[in-house]
């Protein structure tokens, strides 16, 4: 088995993953809070996976890196990454997913497949504006929006139509 010669430890060599990590690194360059190796690794795990992962699935991957890891290690990193909008928590799944779009100013709309748990993102600024408007008409001061859709992704629809039935 050949080891990828790139600099990332044991993460994906997917260019998209690398690009997202790079973005995060740049973002934190001049910030007081830092993207430490532990935090970077959690982000990398999520990006490489592509879909949602539970905190304990992330923890398993951290453990398999070699050294001991505890729940708080995963949760602390996740809290941090969520705070800075590099990760989104899917409440209904108690699971986490990395943003792949450029560090969204707008709330991202997540489409979560009930079959494969993969997640598609879409920016939908109009929707955000509309909800914002509805809320402010009700006198409600919005701090955070959660837009999620659960259903079946394109791939899984195809699977159902062709051969697979699992």
Partner DNA sequence: ATTTGATATGTTATACTATATCAATCGAAA
Partner DNA sequence: TTTCGATTGATATAGTATAACATATCAAAT
**Contact positions vs its own copies (CB under 8 A):** 89-94, 109, 111, 113-114, 120, 122, 124, 126-127, 130-131, 134-135, 138-154, 157
Position among 4, 6, 36, 157 found at the interface with DNA (CB under 7 A): 36
Question: What is the 8-class DSSP label of residue 3?
Answer: P
25 binds DNA (CB under 7 A): no
State the minimum distance, in angstroms, from the CB of residue 37 to DNA.
6
DSSP 88-110: EEEGGGTEEEE--SSS-SSPEEE
Interface segment toward DNA; rule CB under 7 A; list 67-75, 106-114, 121-129, 142-150: 67-75
> CA-to-CA distance for 132 and 153, rounded, in angstroms?
28
CA 38, 43, 49 angle in degrees (round to 5)?
125
The contacts of residue 77 (CB under 8 Å, 6+ apart) are 38, 39, 41, 42, 43
133 binds DNA (CB under 7 A): no
Contacts to DNA by CB under 7 A? 32-34, 36-39, 54-57, 67-68, 70-73, 75-77, 79-80, 89, 94-95
């Amino acid at each position: 088995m050949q080891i990828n010669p790139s600099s990332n430890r044991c993460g994906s060599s997917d260019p998209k993953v690398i690009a997202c990590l790079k973005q995060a690194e740049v973002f934190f360059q001049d910030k007081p809070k830092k993207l430490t190796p532990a935090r970077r690794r959690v982000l990398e795990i999520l990006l490489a996976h592509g879909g949602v992962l539970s905190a304990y699935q992330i923890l398993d991957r951290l453990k398999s890196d070699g050294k001991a890891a505890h729940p708080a290690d995963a949760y602390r990193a996740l809290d941090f990454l969520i705070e800075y909008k590099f990760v989104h928590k899917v409440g209904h799944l108690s699971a986490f997913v990395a943003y792949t779009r450029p560090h969204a100013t707008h709330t991202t709309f997540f489409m979560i497949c009930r079959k494969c748990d993969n997640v598609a993102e879409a920016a939908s600024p109009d929707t955000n504006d509309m909800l914002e408007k509805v809320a402010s008409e009700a006198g409600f001061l919005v701090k955070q929006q959660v837009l999620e859709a659960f259903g079946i992704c394109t791939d899984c629809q195809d699977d159902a139509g062709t051969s697979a039935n699992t």
